A and B are shown apart, each in its own frame.
Chain A
Amino acid sequence: MFKTLIVILLSSVFVNNYVLSRFLGICPFLGVSKKLNQAVGMGVSVTAVMLLATAVTWPIQYLILDRLGLGYMQSIVFILVIAALVQMLETVIKKFSPALHAGLGVYLPLITTNCAVLGVAINNITDGYNFLESMVSSLGCGLGFLLAMVLFSGLRSRIDESEVPGPFKGLAVTLIAASFISLAFMGLAGIVDTIFK
């Protein structure tokens, strides 16, 4: 049991990293990773929203949609729930902790249409995880996202300082750099299974 959870956590952080091997949440990864503090803010917000979204969508799927035979309403219900949750979270943070809102609040509206959040909610259902496993997998995906963001922001600050050939300026070189990080993560594939064999 405990072992299963650890395997889920580690593999979603390192092996099936949402950004670097499953290509979910690429937009914020490329867009908001320019500075370290932005990267951390975005990563933490995404992790929080992922956990919250899973905590709500998992019961909705199993207690409401499946029981009523409305499984096909999944995408539409999930995206609305996520949008509403994000809105609520922003309102609550704004009211109770203006300081936190100044730090994280700005990233929240961007998360509604972040495919990593909807992706993790749907994947937890398709993978047949139970509630606890789903929560752990969401945590792993969020932390994986944070890790990728933080690593990449470091790389980007170096790129910004260097002389890049004309056509590669901007997004092209950013993508190629991301490719190398992804390559590094590919080396971790299989390591989790082997450790726990």
Chain B
Amino acid sequence: MSKNNNCMSVLTNGIIKENPVFILILGTCPTLATTNNVVGAFGMGIAALAVLFCSNILISLLRHIIPDSVRIPCYIVIIAGFVTIVQMLVQAFFPELYKMLGVYLALITVNCIILGRAEMFASKNSVIRSGLDGLGMGIGFTLALTAMATIREVFGSASFAGISIPFLENYKIEFLVKAPGGMLVYGLLIALVYALTHGKAPMKKSFSCATCPSAAYCNTAACKKEEEGDK
């Protein structure tokens, strides 16, 4: 029972408590770039979910085989492999979505959520837990992206998933679907999450190397200085 509970919490962890977009602040590039319409954002979320789930499982399976010294290149190869597979599948079965996402689909490879979870979770946990973690994080990512895209699309282009909303037609804030609008909405949502959780959940520290998943392994002077400075 307690183990089941534990697994459940691994799954839900990524959705709410450690939501990668609003709490961990990871994967900012796709979050900003693909949320100007709901379809693209949802597709991006599902694509990332698939990659995250598969790579987490494979990396967890191989966690005793991969030598420590080459683990990062190994993770990168595995992740890039799954990204390419997803990319080909999307191109074959959802050509419209493929056009919409463009280069950002290929850039899931360098999405820090995925490498971050590989490094921080999958390499240290069992296959089942890693799979659930990937699923949870992926769902959290998808939900966050879709939520943000809903705000931007509804108010920015007066439509939802391409279906136009007539009564908002005359009150469009077109700025929201453009680049600056993405940053503004993201900033406001982060402030909102901070306010709702009374500052408990989101980063007490300002955004820096400390929240970067690479910080665990990059070990550079920049990160160290940063961390020391924050203390």
Contact = CB atoms under 8 A, between A and B. Distances in A.
**A and B in direct contact, judged by CB atoms within 8 A:** yes
Contacts of B77: 76, 80
Given A113-B214, A122-B103, A171 B207 contact: yes
Most chain-B CB neighbours within 10 Å: which of A72, A166, A167, A168?
Answer: A167
Most chain-B CB neighbours within 10 Å: which of A20, A32, A170?
Answer: A170
Contact of B29 (A26, A31, A74, A171): A26
A166 B199 contact: yes
Given A30-B207, A179-B187, A23 B182 contact: yes
Contacts of A83: 72-73, 76
Given A107-B222, A170-B207, A23 B29 contact: yes
A74 B181 CA distance: 32
A118 B107 contact: yes
Tell me whether chain B's interface is mostly helix, strand or loop, or mixed: helix
Nearest to B78: A76
A115 B110 CA distance: 6
Contacts of B187: 168, 171-176, 178-179
Interface string B190-230: 11101100010011011111011010001011100000000
A110 B103 contact: no
B64 to A, nearest CB: 23
B179 A118 contact: no
Contact of A113 (B102, B115, B202, B221): B115
Interface stretch (A6-14, A91-99, A131-139, A180-188): A180-188
Interface stretch (B7-15, B82-90, B131-139, B142-150): B82-90
A182 B207 contact: no
B222 A110 contact: yes
Contacts, number: 156
A123 B184 contact: no
B184 A176 contact: yes
A130 interface: no
Contacts of B103: 119, 122-123, 126
Interface string A100-123: 000000110110011100110011
Please tell me the size bucket of the interface on A.
35 or more
B106 interface: yes
Most chain-B CB neighbours within 10 Å: which of A74, A126, A178?
Answer: A178
Tell me whether chain A's interface is mostly helix, strand or loop, or mixed: helix
A72 B88 contact: yes
A23 B81 contact: no
Interface residues of B, number: 56
B33 interface: yes
Interface string B4-33: 000000000000000000000100111011
Given A23-B33, A30-B28, A167-B195, A79 B190 contact: no
A171 B206 contact: yes
Nearest to A41: B222
B158 to A, nearest CB: 20
Contacts of B76: 79-80, 83
20 contacts: A20-B179, A26-B28, A27-B28, A31-B207, A73-B84, A76-B80, A76-B81, A76-B109, A106-B222, A110-B212, A126-B102, A166-B194, A171-B190, A172-B187, A172-B188, A179-B180, A179-B183, A180-B180, A183-B175, A186-B178
Interface of A: 20-27, 30-32, 34, 38, 72-76, 79-80, 83, 106-107, 109-110, 113-115, 118-119, 122-123, 126, 166-176, 178-180, 182-183, 186
